[in-house]
Structure 1
Amino acid sequence: MLAKRYTGKKLVDNIFTTSKKAKQAIKKYGKENVINATIGSLYDEDEKFAIYNVVEKVYRNLPSEDLYAYSTNVIGEDDYLDEVIKALFFDDYKEELKDLLYIASVATTGGTGAISNTIKNYMDTEDKVLLPNWMWGTYKNIVIENGGKIETYQLFDENGNFNFEDFRSKVLELAKTQKNVVLILNEPSHNPTGFRMTYEEWVNLMAFFKSIKDTNLIVIRDVAYFEYDDRSEEETKSLRKLLIGLPKNVLFMYAFSLSKSLSIYGMRIGAQIAVSSSEEVIQEFKDAISFSCRTTWSNVPKGGMKLFETIMKNPELKTEFLKEKQAYIDLLKERADIFLNEAKEVNLDILPYKSGFFVTIPIGETVDKVIEDLESQNIFVIKFDKGIRIGICSVPKRKIVGLAKKIKEAIEKSK
C-alpha cells in the first residue's frame, strides 16, 4: 500500500535499542553497577539530566500566551531569528559583515529539521550527498528519505588530521555529474568523535570552495555542539571572515540546535542559518524554506524561541547562563581528560578528540564481540560502524575512571 518511494524503508536505530538495554540493566543491578555511555544528552555528576537553572527560571515565568500560542511567523519569531545568528557570529556581525554577506535564519524543529530542510530543498532526486565516513547515522536516513544517495569521504588522514585530499577528490567527482553538490561538515565537537578542524585546515578548505566555478556547492555545517567547544572568540571571528568573498554558487547552511545549547531536547527547537554573497540566493532560500516549514511542521513551538531570545537579550540572564554553561564545558573537559589520559596509559587507540560530548574508539571487524563483552560487564556503548562511541556527556567522572582499561581488555580478548 505504501507509495513506491517509501517501499522498503524501515528505521533501525541502535542508539535507542542499546539505551533501553542499559536501562533494563540499571533496573536489575542498580545504577552504581552499570555504566551507561549510550546517552547523547548532558548529565551531571549525579547522573541526572542537566537542567540550566536560568533556563528553568525563565521558562517558568514566560507569559502563558508565549507557551501555548502559535508563533507569529511560519519561519519563527523575529528576535529569535536574530539571536541565533548572533550566537553563531557574535553581536557585531551586522557591522562586520555589512554589504559583504547576506545572512538569513529560519526556525526549525531542532538541528535535525535544519538538515532535513536543507537536503529536501537543495538535493535533486537521485543525487549523491557527501557525508563523512564517521557520522551521525540519521544523516543517511534524511538523504534516503528525500530520494538521494550517499557518498562518503574519509574524515581523517593517516595523521589524524582532516583528510582534505579525499574530501576534495570526492567533491570534484560529484561535481562532474551533478548541478548541486550537497555536503555535510559536522564541526566543531563532531559527533561521534569530538573532532575539530584547525584554522589552517579551514583556510585551505575555503580556498577550495571558492575555486569551484561550474557547480553549486551547498555546505551544511552541523554546529549542534559548537557551544561546548573551547575554540576562542578570536579564532571564531577569524573563521567568520573566511566566508567573505564566497562566489554566488557556494551557499553555507548552518544547522543550529537548542537541544544542546539550552539542554531543552524535548522542545524541538533549532534553526537554519543561510550565508551567501548573493542577495538573490538568500531570497530564494527564504521563499523555499518557508514553504517547506509550513507544509512539514507548520511552525515550531513559540515558547522555546521566546525562552532563548529572553535569555540572550537580557545581559544579566545571559551572563548567568554563560556561567552555568562554562561549568558544564569544564566538566566535559575533566571527563575527557580522565578517559584520554587513561587510554594513553593502556595504548587504547581513539579517534582525534578536541571537544564535545563523545569519544570514539575504532575497533574493526571484532566490534560486535567487544560490545558483547562490555555488555556482559554492564558497560553499554553505542556501535558506530566498526567502532564504539562513549558518551562522556552523561557518564560521571567516577565511572570513567578505569573504563579505558576495560575497553582495551575487551578488544584484546576479541582478537
Structure 2
Amino acid sequence: MAERLLINKSGSVKKGSDTIFAWWARYQEAVSQGRNAVNGTIGALLEDDGNLAINKIVDSEIRKAPENDIASYAPLSGLPDFLDLAKSLALGEIRDELLDLGFSIGATASPGGSGALYLAANNFLEPGQDVLLRDRHWKPYSGFIQNNGLGFVTWPLLPQNKSEGLEYFDKAGFELMLQQLCNNQSKVMTWINDPAHNPTGLSMTSGDRYQCLNSFVESAVNNADVGHTLLIDSAYSLYADEPFGWAETILESLKSGLFWPENLLICFAISLSKSHTIYGLRTGALVSLHPDEDLIERINSVMGVTARQTWSATSRLGQYSACAVHNSEDLGKKWSKERDRLSGLLYSRRKKFISECKSLGIPVNPTMDGFFAWLEHDEPEKIAEKCTDKDVYLVPLQGGIRIGLCAIPEEQISRVAEALAYALG
C-alpha cells in the first residue's frame, strides 16, 4: 500500500539488481569460500594478477592536481580545454579536415559515456518515440531510454548472409526498421556501439560503416521532414585497431560527394573510463557534428542546460587530469605507450580465446576488439549456470553470454573455453 502511494509508476517497475553486478557478486562469493574461481563478469580491465589495470600516466597527473582542480566545480558544459580534447578523442586527426570542409563540432562534458547517452536520449527524440538499436546491446541502454520516456526497437547485429562490402552490418534489417520509424515519428535516432562493441567485441569493417552511413543519409534525404541523429557510442574505440574509423568513413564519404542534408546530425558518445582508466571519476562527453554552426551552438546550449538540470557539472578532476596528459607531447606519448600495453593484454587474451574455442568447437561470435567476447545462445542463464560448475563466472544477457576478456588472466582463458564446452554439452 505504502509503495503504491509513494512511488510513481515509473519507479515501481525498477526491480532487481543489475545482471552484471549480480554475477560479479556471485564470483566474489565463490572466492570468499576459497574457490579458485575465474572472473569473466566485470567490465573493467584487470591485469593478469587480478588487480585493476591503471594507466599510471593519468594516475600521476590526478595525484599532482592543484587543490582548486580537485575541489572546484567545472563549468556546466565542461572545461574549455577538455571540450577541445573531447573532439580529438572522438575524431582524431580527421577533426581538422572536417573543419576545413566547413563543419562545426560541438562538445558537452558528461559523467562518463552514460551521461553522453542520457543527453542524447533527453534531447533528440520526442516523448514516446523509439530509439533504433542493434538487437545485441549494452543492457543499460534500455534504462537510459526508458527513463527519458522513450522506447526502442532493434535490428539484427549480424546479417543472415554476408555480401560484398557487408560483413557485420545487416543493411536490409537496418533500412527496414529505419523506414518504419520514419513513417511514424518526427525524429529518429540510432545508437551504434562501434568499434569494440559491448557485449560482443565486434567491430564493423570500413565497408560496413560506409553502407550504414549511406543508408542513414539516404533515409534523411528521402524523409526531409524527419530529424535523423546517428550516435556512435565509442566507449571502447581507443582499444580498437581503427579507433577513428567512423571519422575516416565520414570524411571519405564527403570527399566522394556525399550530400549532407540539414536534418542529419552525427554524434559521438565518448568515455574516458576505459581509455584513461578513470572509471570512478565519471568523465566523458557528447560530441556533435553538423555543417550549421548556429545549430551546433544551440545543441551546446541545450546540453549544458540539461546537464545543469540533471547532474549539475561533470568531475573537474577527471577533465583536468586528461587535459594535463594530452596537452603535453611527452605525457601524451607515454599515455599512448601505456594504452598500447593494455591493448596488448586484450589482444593476447582474445587471440587465445578464439583459438581455444575453435579447437573445442565452440561457436563464438566474431570478436575483434575491446573488452568482451560473446556466445550466442537461446538459454544464456542455463549456460552461465553450467559454467559455475567449473568455477567460471560469466554474464548471461538477452540472446547469449558475455565473456569479459578484460578481467580474465591469459593463463585462465583455457578454463573458460573448457567450461563453455562443458556447458554446451
Give the TM-score taking structure 2 as reference length.
Answer: 0.92
> In structure 2, the residue corresponding to 1:182 is in which secondary structure?
strand
Higher mean displacement: 379-388 or 278-287: 278-287
Ranges in structure 2 where 5+ consecutive residues have no aligned partner: 1-5, 162-166
* Pairing 1:41–2:38 present: no
Rounded Cα–Cα distance in structure 2 between residues aligned with 1:138 and 1:237? 26
1:85/1:345 CA distance change after superposition, 3 Å = same
Match of 2:13 in 1: 8
In structure 1, distance between residues paired with 2:86 and 2:59: 20
- CA deviations 1:359-414 (Å, max 9, x no partner) are 0001213x3222221112211000111311110011000000242132022112xx
- 2:285 is the alignment partner of 1:271: yes
Alignment equivalent of 1:321, drawn from 330, 335, 352: 335
Aligned to 2:3: none
Alignment partner, residue 67 of structure 1: 70
Residue 151 of structure 1 corresponds to 153
The answer to whether structure 1 residue 183 and structure 2 residue 190 are counterparts is yes
Distance (Å, rounded) in 1 between the aligned partners of 2:308 and 2:16 = 25
Match of 2:32 among 22, 27, 34: 27
Contact 1:37/1:381 (8 A) holds in 2: yes
Distance, in Å, in 2 between the alignment partners of 1:299 and 1:142 is 19
Deviations 1:160-207 (A, max 9, x none): 621111011100110001011111101000000011111111221222
Classify 1:241/1:317 alpha carbon distance in 2 versus 1 (closer, same or farther; 3 Å): same
CA distance in 2 between counterparts of 1:7 and 1:270 reads 30
Counterpart pick for 1:332 among 346, 356, 361: 346
CA deviation vs aligned residue, 1:135-176 (integer Å, no higher than 9, x gap): 101111111111111211111012462111101110011000
What SS does structure 1 have at the residue aligned with 2:168? coil
TM score, norm. by length of structure 1: 0.94
Contact 1:363 1:411 in 2 (8 A): no
Moved more, 240-249 or 198-207: 240-249
Choose which of 196, 201, 216 in structure 2 pairs with 1:209. 216
Structure 1 residue matching 2:373: 3-state secondary structure:
strand
Distance 2:383 2:92 in 1: 44
Aligned counterpart for 1:228 among listed residues 239, 247, 254: 239
Q: Partner of 1:353: helix, strand, or coil?
A: coil
- Counterpart amino acid of residue 136 in structure 1: W
**In 2, are the aligned partners of 1:5 and 1:147 still within 8 Å (CA)?**
no
Alignment-mate amino acid for residue 218 of structure 1: T
Measure, in 1, the Cα distance between the counterparts of 2:190 and 2:243.
Answer: 26
Percent of pairs identical after alignment? 28
Aligned-residue offset at 1:247: 1.4
CA 1:102–1:317: 2 relative to 1, 3 Å: same
Change in CA separation of 1:173 and 1:347 when aligned onto 2, cut-off 3 Å: same
User: Which of 74, 77, 80 is matched with 2:79 structurally?
Assistant: 77
Per-residue CA deviation, residues 192-246 of structure 1 (Å, 9 max, x unaligned), is 001111111122122222222322111111000000001277x565324047442
Matched, 1:361 2:375: yes
Contact 2:396–2:402 (CA under 8 A) maintained in structure 1: yes
Distance 2:261 2:308 in 1: 30
Equivalent residues of 1:247, 1:277 under 8 A apart: no
Q: What amino acid is the match of 1:82?
A: D
Q: What is residue 281 of structure 1 aligned with on the other side?
A: 295
CA contact (8 A) 2:210 2:253 kept: no
Which secondary structure does the structure 2 equivalent of 1:184 belong to?
A: strand
Number of aligned positions between the proteins = 407
Structure-2 residue corresponding to 1:138: 140
Residues of 2 paired with 1:40 and 1:81: CA distance? 26
Cα separation, 2, equivalents of 1:347 and 1:272: 41
- The residue identity in structure 2 corresponding to 1:190 is H
2:251 alignment counterpart: 241
Letter of the 1:397 partner, please give it.
Answer: E
Q: Is the Cα–Cα contact under 8 Å of residues 209 and 249 in structure 2 kept in the other structure?
A: yes
Return closer, same or farther for 1:203/1:24 CA change in 2, 3 Å cut-off.
same
**Which residue of 50, 53, 65 corresponds with 1:50?**
53
C-alpha RMSD of the superposition: 1.7
Aligned equivalent of 2:423: 410
Measured against aligned partners, the alpha-carbon deviations of 1:331-378 in whole angstroms (never above 9, x if no partner) come to 11100000001111111111111111000001213x322222111221
The question of whether the paired residues in 2 share the 8 Å contact of 1:206 and 1:242 is answered with: no
The amino acid across from 2:278 in the alignment is I
Q: Partners of 1:390 and 1:266 in 2: how far apart?
A: 22
Structure 1 residues 74 and 99, CA gap change in structure 2 (3 angstroms): same
Task: Report how far residue 92 of structure 1 moved.
Answer: 6.0
- 1:253 pairs with 2:267: yes
Counterpart amino acid of residue 78 in structure 1: P
What is the rounded CA distance, in whole Å, between the counterparts of 1:236 and 1:404 in structure 2? 33
Distance 1:402 1:379, change over 3 A: closer
From the superposition, tell whether residues 350 and 92 of structure 1 become closer, same or farther in structure 2 (CA, over 3 Å): closer
Query: Does the 8 A contact of 2:89 with 2:270 survive in 1?
Result: no
Query: Are 2:169 and 2:212, in contact at CA under 8 Å, matched by a contact in 1?
Result: no
Conservation of the 8 A alpha-carbon contact between 1:194 and 1:353: yes
